[in-house]
Structure 1
């Protein structure tokens, strides 16, 4: 009996050791994969607050919550199973899918830049004014979830690309951990951003002069912060999309553009003391330029097709 108990304890210890090793593998894979997706995460966090702006304060957090639930549904119902099927049956398709998603990001960013320069976003504002608040909220949430689907697909594809050599269960657990962690992080930050003016207003009503001054500062800063976030989101779309295109060209043995981007980064990295920062900035700028070129080509094609149909 004693020897049987000892053997059982040994088996339990061995299973626990295997489980601990698996958890370490999952955590390590998730950490590495999540780090690679940080650019898309910045884009997601910068873009989303705009969808909750313009509503009454009591609707802001419910809207963020609806978008967060939609994001989780995107990741766990559609993208995670799709990523695992790709990994099992068509791992060669990961890079092309990444590049298609990157091209879409470049297209979206370029259109935003064109709209900002030509001031064509006014038509959308007029259409929004014609909707009721409930219809507008539904439309905004739907638009945010659609955008999240693209960004989440990029995040999952980037993460998958980094764990394709691991066993399937480790891949599934790592992707689930990345998806959940990024969703909580992004929409937690988004909720804080959209409620920042309310926090500032509350602080401005306190008795302490320092709290009042900080509160008024937060309220005044919010329009600036939202404007900066919009610009950061657009820049991140170009930087991330262009960077993925560059990596894709390397993967398909088309080294000319990647060589120029790496050469610019290496040259900028020679600045004494801040070489790591300037090198990264140079590569990000080169990626953004590539993204802008790709986006401009797609915008040109998309806007050319309707003209040809009218001519026909």
Structure 2
């Protein structure tokens, strides 16, 4: 075989190895970044079904599809280019943006806790009027897309903080991958949640025996499922919000909150078996971060309620 061809094949093999390594790096980085933003994703899935309240079942899926398209625009057309530019030219702003996101999530979590215990209900949400006109549908879709923009910005900022060591095109691919996967996952789950009672009703009406029992079970389960999602969303917001605040104020040079949480967490795991000590420490750290997040949010919430009364903050 001619020497030149051998050299060419060696070059091709080397390029293929580099490309494969890059794909592996991108996949691993995307997985890490996606995991970090899991709390915001849960919040997104828990919040969205409320925008379908009061509409006929026939309008629910079309509304979700409109919101999904708006979410893709938010992430891919607006936030993705902004995130790549930020990562290249102003990465020092990422901790500041994440602190703002942490404050927002902590406020959201604390607001739900305050409402649960009937404390400071000045901003308690009113139930929407049962008006199915096109004007109200457009209003609800627009409101959902605005909320998605805020949550998507937090997701992209969290993801960007995990891939700052990548070159710009790898950042773009990772963020685009996360955007697509999260959007499909969130709104696919929302569609399933919203239509679950209709599925149960169909099974109960059109079948007998076990299948009908399953349908009736789905109908009975839905209120509990929605309540559970709300609780999980609140816990996730508190955990992620508190964690963002602790880690990013440390990035800016203030380590006292992080040291406090560590000093409280470490004594609780010193007697634990070594095999589970690391996991137990992470759990305790997350719980204490969530408590701190709710405490900070409880200070912010009354102030926000008085500046933006009657739900205008959302």
Bin of the TM-score, shorter chain as denominator length: 0.7 to 0.9
Aligned to 2:70: 70
Name the counterpart of 2:247.
Answer: 247
In structure 2, stretches of 5+ residues that fail to align are 310-314
Matches within 5 A, 1:1-312: 12-116=12-116, 117=118, 124-125=126-127, 128-129=128-129, 131-269=131-269, 270=271, 278-303=280-305
CA distance in 2, matches of 1:47, 1:296: 20
Instruction: Return the TM-score normalized by structure 1.
Output: 0.86
Superposed displacement of residue 99, structure 1: 0.6
Please identify which structure carries the higher helix content: 1
- What CA distance in whole angstroms lies between the structure 2 residues aligned with 1:67 and 1:84? 24
Deviation digits for residues 41-84 of structure 1, max 9, x if unmatched? 22222222222233211111111111111111111111111111
Q: TM-score, length-normalised on structure 2?
A: 0.85
Q: Is the 8 A contact 1:44 1:151 kept in 2?
A: yes
Q: Distance in 1 between matches of 2:135 and 2:200?
A: 29
- What number of residue pairs does the alignment pair up? 305
**1:131–1:49 Cα change, 3 Å:** closer
1:106-164 residue CA offsets vs partner (Å, 9 max, x unmatched)? 22333333344256677732xx3285532332222222212211211111111111110
Q: Which moved more, 1:2-11 or 1:100-109?
A: 2-11
**Alignment RMSD:** 2.8
Tell me if the contact between 2:242 and 2:293 (Cα under 8 Å) persists in the aligned partners: yes
Whole-angstrom CA distance in 2 between matches of 1:58 and 1:130: 15
Paired with 1:61 and 1:264, the residues of 2 have a C-alpha distance of 47
Q: Distance in 2 between matches of 1:114 and 1:36?
A: 26
**Aligned partners of 1:145, 1:276: CA distance in 2, in Å?**
39
Mark the CA change 1:271 to 1:143 in structure 2 (over 3 Å): closer, same or farther.
farther
Gaps of 5+ in 1: 308-312
Offset at 1:91? 0.5
- State whether residues 54 and 130 of structure 2, in contact with CA within 8 Å, keep that contact through their aligned partners in structure 1: no
Instruction: Give the distance between the partners of 2:303 and 2:104, measured in 1 at CA.
Output: 13
How far apart are the structure 1 equivalents of 2:138 and 2:114? 26
**Per-residue deviation at 1:15?**
4.4
> Which sits farther off after the overlay, 172-181 or 252-261?
252-261
